[in-house]
Amino acid sequence: SNTTDTKSKEENKKTLENLYSLSVDITKIRRLKEWVLLQDVAYVKEIAGILQEMGADETTVANIIERCPEAILHTPAEINSQRALWQLVCQNEKQLIKLIEQFPESFFTTEYQQNQKANILFFQELGLKNNIITRFLTSAPNIFYNPVEKNKTVIETLQRNYLNLGGSEANMKIWILKLLSQNPFILLNTSTTIQENLEFLQKNDFTDQEVLQLLSKLKGFIFQLNSTTMQKSMLFSKNTFKCSDQELKQLVLKCPALLYYSVPVLEERLEGLLKEGISIAQIRETPMVLELTTQIVQYRIKKLSALGYDIKSGNLESLNGTKKDFEVTYGKIQSKKERPIFNPVAPLHIED
């Protein structure tokens, strides 16, 4: 085990020889996870063989083992069943080997094979496309470690609430799939948390329609919150913007980040904006600007100022949005500035 006292144990000579023969950089492994080299049994050649069978060249094999040395401690049988499992959602072995190279830890976690398989089949039944499931396997592998019943319960809770809030049966599937693909980590919550958060919003006078709107806007993040933090954030916004409950509700619907971010985060972002000379009134007008980190805001203000655009007197819409949105806005302001102003009364100089 990795708690072994490394001083008292020798590195396994056979393991070292086999790794050398594959051109693996052993110093990397010593630095990362030396305990792997101390194990009595390792399947270096066998695991390399399986990876090569899938189409990995020597460099790829070495790269995978350097990044995830514990791969060589798995038996060939475990790796072959993992391979079969991932092939349920991969187009071909070429795609599979590419994924293993990018996310070796996800692939070589083999303890939960029964759960992984049951969850893959459940997600397929649910209608999730294979490319989304492979994205989950690599970027959110722990949702596959849950027993499938737990994931089913969370999905059923979401479906039930969606219908109770007035969502239609016809749109429910699309809504669930969209929510999941935006944020698979909602499956790590309990159905009780989901229920409590929705009840909190209803108690705060959000109508069913508005709650539904918030669920879609928040990309499922609402399920990772709790009523205490939401209450504190809403109170902070109410005091900052000096608004009534009804006005606060409208602000939250416009900018769900007011619900999602904790008070210290909101405070820091607000402070950053005020330092730039932006007023509370401007922020209240365009609260979405609080979704951006202080660094992003400063960078964008600097770029716009260089074009002669004064953010203090303008509106904050030009700061908003994703990186792509901002680049479009910036491009428009830039081309406006570069375009010569045409004066219709000025005499035209036409060469004879």
Convert the pLDDT of each residue in 205-226 to its tens digit: 899 999 988 887 777 777 778 8
Residue 330 CA: distances (Å) to CA of 216, 317, 327: 28, 11, 5
Asked if the structure places residue 18 within a domain, the reply is yes
- If pLDDT is split at 50, 70 and 90, which confidence band does 341 have? low
Instruction: Tell me the residue range of the domain where 98 lies.
Output: 11-110
Q: What is the pLDDT of residue 352?
A: 38
pLDDT confidence of residue 117: 96
Q: Could you give the CA distance from residue 352 to residue 313 in angstroms, rounded to a whole number?
A: 47
Q: What is the pTM of this model?
A: 0.76
Tokens of 173: 């599937």
Let me know if residue 75 belongs to a domain. yes
Q: Is residue 41 part of a domain?
A: yes
User: How far is the CA of 76 from the CAs of 62, 107, 119, 247, in angstroms?
Assistant: 17, 13, 23, 62
Question: For residue 320, how many other CB atoms are within 10 A of its CB?
Answer: 18
Inside any domain, residue 172:
no
Residue range 95-152, pLDDT digits in tens:
999 999 999 999 999 889 999 999 999 999 999 999 999 999 999 999 999 999 999 9
Helical H segments across 183-226, by residue range: 191-203, 208-217
Radius of gyration of the chain (CA): 27
Domain membership of residue 348 (yes or no) is no
- The verdict on residue 335 lying in a domain is no
3-state secondary structure of 112: coil
**3 state DSSP class of 314:** coil
Tell which residue, 155, 212, 198, 146, has the closest CA to residue 180: 155
Total Cβ atoms within 10 A of residue 181:
17
The count of C-alpha atoms lying within 13 angstroms of the C-alpha of 151, restricted to the half-sphere facing its C-beta, is: 23
Predicted confidence at residue 334, as pLDDT, reads 84
Q: What letters, b where the CB count within 10 A reaches 16 and e where it falls short, cover 68-94?
A: bbbbbbbeeebbeebbebbeebbeebe
CA distance 152 to 176: 12
130 assigned to some structural domain: no
Q: How far apart are CA 261 and CA 81, in angstroms?
A: 42
- The residue whose two tokens read 């060249």 is 57
Q: How many domains does the chain contain in total?
A: 1
pLDDT digits (tens, 9 = 90+) for 288-325: 999 889 999 999 989 888 888 888 877 788 888 888 88
Average pLDDT score over the chain: 89
Residue 161 burial by Cβ neighbours in a 10 Å radius (0-12, 13-18, 19+): buried
CB 133 within 8 A of CB 124: yes
Kindly state whether residue 71 falls inside one of the protein's structural domains.
yes
| 70: confidence class by pLDDT, cuts 50, 70, 90 | very high
